[in-house]
Amino acid sequence: MKEVWAVSVDKRDLVEAIGHARTRATLRRKGGGFEADVTFVAWEEGLSIRSSFAAMDLPAEGRWCSPVMADGAALRSVAPKLAGPRIALRYEAGRLFLNATSIPAREI
């Protein structure tokens, strides 16, 4: 069976989850700053957006095979600018696609 990373999520939920994953951890870490990476992980009802100290679960339609990590700053910059109320996320060949826009990512 071919591995598939393709889900659809609400844009507002995605933007909020990325912000949450990147900034909440700074309240617990010494030195401040933002989390560099954000991880996308499947859970029974959708997709979980995580960093080392924070996570937010989103309802999603589709399938996500295994965890994928991407640059949190790039995600935070790109996600709010995407058109439409829903975002199609997919991972393929080292790239995380958000609709037609892609950023480097890696399976972990």
Q: List per-residue pLDDT tens for the chain, 108 residues long.
A: 567 899 999 999 999 998 888 775 444 555 556 678 899 999 888 999 998 778 899 999 999 999 999 998 899 999 999 999 999 999 999 999 999 999 999 999
Q: Containing domain of residue 73, as a range?
A: 5-107
* Helices within 1-108 (DSSP H only): 11-23, 72-78
Helix and strand element counts for the chain (H, E): 2, 9
CATH of the domain at 50: 3.10.150.10
**For the chain, how many structural domains are there in total?**
1
Q: Is-contact 45 59, C-beta < 8 A? A: yes
Q: Which positions ≥6 away from 50 have C-beta within 8 Å?
A: 21, 38, 39, 40, 41, 56
